[in-house]
Amino acid sequence: MSSLFKTSLVATEKEINDVLKSDMKSVIKAALPHLHIFRPQSWPSFLATLDSLPEYLLNDNPQHKSMHRRIHSIILEDIDAFVWSIRNTSTTVSSSSNTLATASIQLTTSVAKLGKLLSCATILTSQSTTLSSYRPSLPTSWPQGSPVTRLAVRRVDVLKFAPAISVEDAEKERVQRWEVVSRGRFECWRVGVGARDGEGFVFRVGKGIEMEREGGR
């Protein structure tokens, strides 16, 4: 959470002075009690958790103190973590596809319902099945008319060694290449536009998250 708060400040390209640091720590300290984390261990448990969120968040529940605060967002991380278990319930390839499609409908229906009921944003993360299309394993699709924005994130490629490079030259480049890798550079862009079409930005991951520049690469 500290890194996320720092990101918005670093993006302004201004140094964070002692006063801002103190204020930021106070904001984080006040915000963390209102971050609710759930760790379902199976797909049925995951769906049950989504179904229970309205009762958990909206009822006067003594388990949390966020009753009178606005819900900012619901973040579902690594949705594809349950794909293997969903597929294992099927005996054939065709039934596996149908089972995954059913799971996708269950997911998108629950997410759309929660977003409307709680008036909040929903963020899903998943690994891409193919590098060319950046299609997630789950959900397989969204209902027609759903307002979906898809973003792709990947590590910026490091140039490979040139063909037929000598051992001596490779050794010289090794240190330079490691310096590039150690920067932890990633790029993010809106799927459907392309990283090279100016619809993206580059950031670095280290002790925090630092915005490097806009415009893909």
Q: How confident is the model at residue 196 (pLDDT cuts 50, 70, 90)?
A: low
Q: How confident is the model at residue 15 (pLDDT cuts 50, 70, 90)?
A: low
In which order are the strands placed within the sheet that holds 200-205?
151-155, 185-190, 200-205, 209-214
31 with 46, same domain: the answer is no
Residue 96 has a pLDDT of: 64
83 with 183, same domain: the answer is no
Q: How confident is the model at residue 190 (pLDDT cuts 50, 70, 90)?
A: confident
Of all residues in the chain, what percent carry a pLDDT higher than 90?
20
Evaluate if residue 200 carries a pLDDT over 60: yes
- Please state, in angstroms and as integers, the Cα–Cα distance from residue 192 to each residue in 8, 120, 139, 149, 151, following that order: 26, 25, 17, 10, 9
The 8-class DSSP code of residue 160 comes to P
- Please state, in angstroms and as integers, the Cα–Cα distance from residue 54 to each residue in 46, 79, 116, 174, following that order: 14, 20, 11, 54
121 with 201, same domain: the answer is no
Evaluate if residue 12 carries a pLDDT over 90: no
Which comes out higher in pLDDT, residue 149 or 62? 149
Full-model pTM: 0.71
Number of domains in the chain: 3
Residue 1 has a pLDDT of: 46
Residue 156 has a pLDDT of: 76
Going by C-alpha positions, the residue among 31, 101, 109, 41 that lies closest to residue 73 is 31
**What is the Rg, in whole angstroms, of the alpha carbon atoms belonging to the chain?**
22
Residue that is last in its domain, among 113, 131, 148: 148
Question: Once rounded to an integer, what is the mean pLDDT over residues 182-198?
Answer: 71
Residues 208 and 6: beta-carbon distance below 8 Å = yes
Residues 118 and 74: beta-carbon distance below 8 Å = yes
Which comes out higher in pLDDT, residue 52 or 212? 52
63 with 48, same domain: the answer is yes
Going by C-alpha positions, the residue among 43, 118, 105, 31 that lies closest to residue 74 is 118
State the burial class of residue 195 (Cβ atoms within 10 Å of its Cβ: 0-12, 13-18, 19+). Answer: buried
